[in-house]
């Protein structure tokens, strides 16, 4: 902005006419306007791609956007939580959890300092206090290895979790302070999204405004569905094919569907009723290594490289987050 002013002859004349006090006032006005740009949008224009290493991670799967340019990511098999920053390109182990836990999908509302985490094959879910780095609650939704708690989304009323092994969603209510309730309830999914046709079925989850309609991805069917949060009835999102879909991101009527073994992300525009979608862009990167989930920062996506293998746990030595334009 300053270089533009200096290059403009008319503005240069204005500078010569201004007294010292006027110049200082103008500079303060320009500086204030510059800092008013949201951090995520400012970051977006400065860098189109990059890699943020999760130091010491033994695996990776989920990610969520925190305040400003902060993100949280999970060590899939160890369950530890990482905190990173898409602006600085750094990350660190943030919460060292008890052994025996896992971390897949995770979400924080940014209204309250709580992180909700899906516990994978443990059949559990966890809530962590981000200020104290402690466990707030543990929920057992199903037996270990017979349930696979894959992802979570937060609404104004609570948290919804998917189970990839069973046609169920689990709901943990929250109060006005964001504190999770002691009890949860299970919602049986009905209709096409309920199909148990492969090893991993229901996977990613997001919520339309108001939280009454949920949008879920089905990995084996390569499809997106809407689910009524009261009845569990589901309907296919027509016009959408997302083979090997994993995590999804929803903003307004735009969905970003991460396709793990395809090493790509589809950006899809949904109609007003979320019943039909059209792919507008396919995002690829030479840095993708089986991406599993993404978090949105303005026009930027922070994407986890899961480096998964079809038949055994991941064995890579380094795990990272890849930053790309959305």
What is the pLDDT at residue 100?
98
What is the pLDDT at residue 1?
30
3-state SS, residue 122: coil
pLDDT tens digits along 223-241 = 999 999 999 999 999 999 9
What is the pLDDT at residue 21?
35
Q: Which two tokens stand for residue 224?
A: 């997106």
Higher pLDDT, 41 or 193: 193
Spatial distance between the Cα atoms of 246 and 226, rounded to a whole number of angstroms: 16
pLDDT tens digits along 134-156 = 999 999 999 999 999 999 999 99
What is the pLDDT at residue 49?
57
- Mean pLDDT, rounded, for 254-264: 98
CA atoms within 13 A on the CB side of 116: 27
Instruction: Please report the domains of the chain, with CATH numbers, ordered by start residue.
Output: 2-31 (no CATH), 38-325 (2.130.10.10)
Say if residues 76 and 104 touch (Cβ distance below 8 Å). yes
pLDDT tens digits along 85-110 = 999 999 999 999 999 999 999 999 98
Mean pLDDT score of the chain, rounded to an integer?
Answer: 88
Say if residues 39 and 69 touch (Cβ distance below 8 Å). yes
Q: How much of the chain is helix, strand and coil, in % rounded to 5?
A: 15, 45, 45
* pTM of this structure: 0.86
Which residues, in sequence order, are bridge partners of residue 48?
none
What is the pLDDT at residue 313?
87
Q: Does the structure show a pLDDT above 60 at 24?
A: no
Higher pLDDT, 102 or 32: 102
List the one residue out of 84, 51, 49 whose CA is nearest residue 66.
84
pLDDT tens digits along 276-316 = 999 999 999 999 999 999 999 999 999 999 999 887 889 99
- Least confident among 72-86, 152-166, 300-314: 300-314
């Amino acid at each position: 902005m300053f270089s533009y002013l200096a290059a403009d002859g008319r503005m240069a004349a204005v500078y010569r006419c201004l007294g010292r006090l006027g110049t200082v006032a103008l500079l303060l006005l320009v500086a204030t306007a510059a800092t008013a740009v949201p951090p995520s949008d400012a970051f977006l224009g400065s860098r189109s791609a990059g890699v943020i290493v999760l130091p010491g991670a033994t695996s990776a799967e989920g990610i969520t956007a925190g305040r400003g340019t902060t993100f949280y990511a999970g060590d899939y098999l160890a369950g530890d939580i990482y905190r990173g920053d898409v602006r600085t390109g750094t990350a660190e182990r943030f919460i060292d959890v008890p052994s025996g836990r896992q971390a897949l999908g995770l979400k924080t509302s940014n209204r309250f300092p709580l992180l909700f985490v899906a516990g994978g094959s443990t059949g559990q879910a966890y809530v962590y206090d981000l200020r104290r780095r402690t466990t707030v609650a543990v929920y057992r939704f199903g037996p270990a290895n017979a349930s696979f708690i894959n992802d979570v989304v937060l609404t104004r009323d609570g948290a919804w979790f998917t189970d990839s092994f069973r046609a169920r969603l689990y709901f943990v209510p929250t109060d006005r302070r964001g504190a999770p309730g002691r009890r949860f309830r299970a919602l049986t999914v009905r209709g096409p999204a309920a199909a148990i046709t492969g090893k991993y079925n229901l996977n990613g989850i997001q919520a339309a405004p108001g939280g009454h309609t949920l949008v879920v991805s089905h990995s084996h069917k390569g499809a997106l569905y809407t689910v009524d949060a009261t009845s569990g009835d589901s309907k296919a999102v027509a016009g959408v094919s997302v083979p090997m879909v994993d995590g999804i991101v929803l903003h307004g009527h735009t969905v970003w569907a991460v396709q793990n073994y395809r090493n790509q992300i589809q950006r899809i525009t949904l109609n007003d009723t979320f019943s039909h979608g059209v792919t507008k862009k396919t995002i690829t990167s030479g840095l993708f290594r089986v991406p599993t989930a993404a978090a949105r920062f303005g026009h930027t996506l922070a994407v986890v490289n899961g480096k998964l293998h079809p038949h055994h746990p991941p064995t890579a030595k380094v795990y990272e987050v890849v930053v790309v334009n959305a």
